[in-house]
Structure 1
Amino acid sequence: MNTAYTKSSLLSLFLVMSVFFSLPNLVLALTPDQVVVIANTRANDSLSLAKYYMQQRAIPAENLIKIRTTWKESCNRQQYQEDIAEPAKKAVQKLQQNKRIRCLVTMYGVPLKIRAPVLDLDDEEQVKQLKKQIRQEQEKLKAAQKIEHSQLKNLIDSLKLQIKLLQQTDTRAAVDSELALVLTDTYPLENWLPNPYFLGFQRQKTFLQRDTVLMVSRLDGPTPDIVRRIIDDSIAVEQKGLQGKAYFDARWARPDPQKKLSGYALYDAAIHKAAELVKQERAMEVLLNDKSALFTAGDCPEAALYCGWYSLSKYIDAFTWVQGAVGFHIASGECATLKQEKSQGWCKRMLEQGVAATIGPVYEPYVQAFPLPDLFFSKLTEGYLTLGETYLISLPFLSWQMVLIGDPLYQPFSPEMIGNSQPTPSKTERNSTL
């Protein structure tokens, strides 16, 4: 996974990490009438699953948006704009005349990702010639003297950037991540945009305004039966609270807390911190692996929570998932497909094996685009936030690659069951924040 920074420096993010957990509980009180469900009438089971979910969660019937588009997992930008974004925007704006809409749920059968544009013949030929030139410069680099290395590397990087601009790969995105901005009139499609709800950006001005951003979650999976199981498990677990063990799979020993970190090191340290915070928050067994080797088969029975990295598109069957389990694996493209039978991507395989919620990117996201593990798991286990709200405040970027799969109303932990016995805020306090 590339750790390059392509649009916005995350220096400000690192500077405010120390204040994340001193902030008051942010309870947005997402309610069923604020949730809009999007179903694709051209996809088998999409509409029936949408109606089932809405019935189980008491979501008003008028909060259903029916679209008609491709049933394939990917679509082009025109299909997204005309078939998905425009009808969704009109329907949400109409609903908002009488109520506040804060969350969209894309159902099984709604495309998962937006492709880059197809190149014309001239651009294809130009890309071909640039690739040929890169190979030539790489051969020169092998034989060059050390003093020439820097100049040749800069030239190669420049040629790669030209290819990237021609192919417009940075306009690729998750459908859900773009839908979060469906109420935003205009914004750049290249690369990402900082999420104004992300706690790490609370002290800086962002291009996007909060009142134009919606939380988006997806009820999807390899089969309709799995989607129905996600819905049923989420509701069932809320009655008793999520029970089981938490597993965190770092790769290195925890670094000096005074050391400034970025990229992989920052996220590895965040996994360590997540384990510590969950242990403080909940009376559940927490197991942290800080060795270079990942968890292996049989290592993780009764898994309720999980975060780890880095097994690229190769799920490791180390887990026995309990009902309602939540977790994600930090690696590129782990949500590139939920339907391809032979795929071993973590999102697809975790859903097949029993999790109720997971997170992953549809294309290369860069590591810093993932939700911060310590922020995500600490806020989830506090119990005040739903799954959708937790994801929203822990996700750094929008108009990008990340997808949340799960019921956004899912609240797996009750505040009354907090391990450190923090008092439950009053209803007034809960509704007064954000």
Structure 2
Amino acid sequence: MSKLACAAEAGMLPGMFKRVVVFWALLVGAGWSAGLPLSPKEVVVVYNANQPDSKKLAEVYRDARNIPQDHLIGLELSAEQDISYDEYQKTLVAPLRKTFDDRAWWKRSKNPEGLIIPVQNEIRVVVLMRGVPLRIKPSPLPEGVKVDPKDPIGGRTESAVDSELAIFGIDGLPVQGALKNQYFQSKKSIREANLPFLMLTARIDAASESTCERMIQDAVEAEKTGLWGRAYIDIANKFPQGDNWLEAIAKKNLEIGIPTVVDRFNDTLPLNYPMTDASIYYGWYDWNVSGPFLNGKFYFKKGAVAIHLHSFSAEQLRNPSKNWSAGLLERGAAVTVGNVYEPYLHLTHWFDVLHDRLLDGNSWVEACWMAMPVTSWQGVVLGDPLYRPFLHLNGDGKMLAEDKDYLLLRSAAMRWGNDPEEFNKQLGMAAERLKSGTVSEALGLDLLAAGKDTQAAVWFRNAKEHFEKAEDKLRQDLHLIAIDRKAGRKAAAVQEIREAQARYGPMPEAKALAGWLDILEPPAPPKALPK
């Protein structure tokens, strides 16, 4: 179905319909710049030759992305997720270097500092399959090495296998501490950046092989349409740097027309929060997967980008109930990032940079490494490295009926984003004409971000009327309750919660109401047992 047909079917107002179609034609005609795309010939895939499932997964990925057959490398590796640094050097680094030498993929020479370093390299991405060890265990410092006791990083020897492998071509580096990532905050593709000594690593790994295969398939399919849906951002008010990353993402989404629900209360989103049409999630800071993701009905939209900031989010990838990375992937996310040991906030992925680079059309692996300040440290990138979720942010991808309202919001933001009054007017007319809860809610969220709580409340009530699903209606009530809660109107918020509880009854998502009620009116402590 063409964009024109979809817009007509959506019943857009004639004036808006005409302007949006002209706008799309201009935008698509102008092209969409996303840098030089990675070639399958620039990718190698490493799997555990001792595990048949690891090899099978490598073959699935090979076929999905047309990776050359001789770019699959099977190594005799441990079945354990944790290995020693010596084992890492013996079973991963040494055979990989030999393979690169034998196949003439690189040239290495000694630099002025005495390090042997790649100066030419045909390979830019190394993909690790499920079955490849995840973490390098702590080891004693080399004899004679002294570390400042006040330096929490300099004496650390534990790290992510993936982060170490990004620089496996450099011979002579110290074991301890972290190393600066020369690609950090770049806006160039990895090919244009010309960093032959750095190979971007990503891992296709999760709690099960079937989840890994689904991650690959979802990325390939979602890339055809572009990633459309609603974003959810959970700001925990822990440390300014992390909170500022999330605020920047919310602001950017507002500018480009991605409807974004932002929770700014200190507590994380409550149990079973109704997170429908979730294509993007950024949050922090619980130890284990919680809130909306404990709802057995919850599932992300195909191709979703979902990340929770926590020091040990990827400490393990086999139990989806522990930590975060495995849990988000098990609940339908296509990609995420995580940390295997304590990284310290400033040395983990910078979410605002990551999101910005994704929106620019970069591949998943490039965006993640553009957002990572260091290598030889704790970060891992999970999911198809070649996936470009926002390749079709101009709307030129395959059109799905379920995405029509999100495309409308994107086009409206591009057309009237610099004129808030006209933007609100046009969206308001479209929401009424289309009877669209999605557009009404988006307008309410936009007004809420502008500090216009009273006007926002009108549109949340309007959205509640237009949405069909009870979960979506409940979310509008939660928006309204949040307005009163933020304003300090505790009694009003409590009354609204109780009325909503009566209205929604036992549906799983109504547990979110109980979670907020417990915060506003904590239950009395249990009576002490008589002695």
Residue identity matched to 1:237: A
Match of 1:232 in 2: 217
Out of 306, 327, 334, the position equivalent to 1:349 is: 327
CA distance in 2, matches of 1:249, 1:360: 17
Q: How far 1:188 sits from its partner (Å)?
A: 1.9
Greater Rg over alpha carbons, structure: 2
Match of 2:454 in 1: none
CA distance in 1, matches of 2:239, 2:187: 20
C-alpha distance after superposition, 1:238-263 (max 9, x if no partner): 111112111111124xxxxxxxxxx9
Does the CA contact (< 8 Å) of 1:237 and 1:324 recur in 2? yes
C-alpha distance after superposition, 1:269-301 (max 9, x if no partner): 1110111112323x3311111111111222422
The 5 A counterparts of 1:18-29 are 27-29=35-37
Moved over 6 A (4+): none
The 5 A counterparts of 1:12-411 are 27-93=35-101, 94-96=103-105, 100-117=122-139, 170-199=156-185, 210-252=195-237, 264-281=239-256, 283-296=257-270, 297-318=272-293, 320-340=299-319, 343-382=321-360, 384-411=361-388
SS in 1 for 2:287: coil
CA distance in 2, matches of 1:70, 1:55: 26
Residue identity matched to 2:303: G
Structure 2 CA distance for partners of 1:243 and 1:200, relative to 1, 3 Å = closer
RMSD (CA atoms):
2.9
CA distance in 1, matches of 2:329, 2:96: 27
Residue identity matched to 1:221: A
CA distance in 1, matches of 2:187, 2:365: 18
Structure 2 CA distance for partners of 1:197 and 1:28, relative to 1, 3 Å = farther
SS in 1 for 2:394: helix
Structure 2 CA distance for partners of 1:118 and 1:292, relative to 1, 3 Å = same
CA distance in 2, matches of 1:43, 1:118: 30
Match of 1:13 in 2: none
CA distance in 2, matches of 1:169, 1:70: 26
Does the CA contact (< 8 Å) of 1:278 and 1:378 recur in 2? no
Residue identity matched to 1:175: V
Structure 2 CA distance for partners of 1:116 and 1:292, relative to 1, 3 Å = same
CA distance in 1, matches of 2:338, 2:302: 20
Does the CA contact (< 8 Å) of 2:38 and 2:386 recur in 1? yes
CA distance in 2, matches of 1:326, 1:169: 34
C-alpha distance after superposition, 1:134-156 (max 9, x if no partner): xxxxxxxxxxxxxxxxxxxxxxx
Does the CA contact (< 8 Å) of 2:130 and 2:206 recur in 1? yes
The answer for unaligned runs of 5 or more in structure 1 is 1-24, 120-157, 203-208, 253-262, 423-434
Does the CA contact (< 8 Å) of 1:371 and 1:396 recur in 2? yes
Of residues 299-308 and 103-112 in structure 1, the stretch that sits farther from structure 2 once superposed is 299-308
Structure 2 CA distance for partners of 1:200 and 1:379, relative to 1, 3 Å = closer
Does the CA contact (< 8 Å) of 2:253 and 2:259 recur in 1? no
Does the CA contact (< 8 Å) of 1:278 and 1:377 recur in 2? no
Q: TM-score, normalised by structure 2?
A: 0.60
Match of 2:24 in 1: none
Structure 2 CA distance for partners of 1:336 and 1:378, relative to 1, 3 Å = same
Q: Kindly, what percent of the aligned residue pairs are identical? A: 29
CA distance in 2, matches of 1:161, 1:234: 44
CA distance in 2, matches of 1:338, 1:109: 11
Residue identity matched to 2:129: M
CA distance in 1, matches of 2:373, 2:34: 17
SS in 1 for 2:67: coil
Residue identity matched to 2:279: A
Q: How far 1:352 sits from its partner (Å)?
A: 1.1
Count of aligned pairs between the two proteins? 341
Name which structure has the greater RCO, CA cutoff 8 Å, separation 6+: 1
SS in 1 for 2:156: helix
Does the CA contact (< 8 Å) of 1:237 and 1:323 recur in 2? yes
CA distance in 2, matches of 1:114, 1:52: 27
C-alpha distance after superposition, 1:94-125 (max 9, x if no partner): 35259721000000100001001279xxxxxx
Does the CA contact (< 8 Å) of 2:187 and 2:357 recur in 1? no
Q: How far 1:184 sits from its partner (Å)?
A: 1.3
Structure 2 CA distance for partners of 1:99 and 1:174, relative to 1, 3 Å = closer
SS in 1 for 2:267: coil
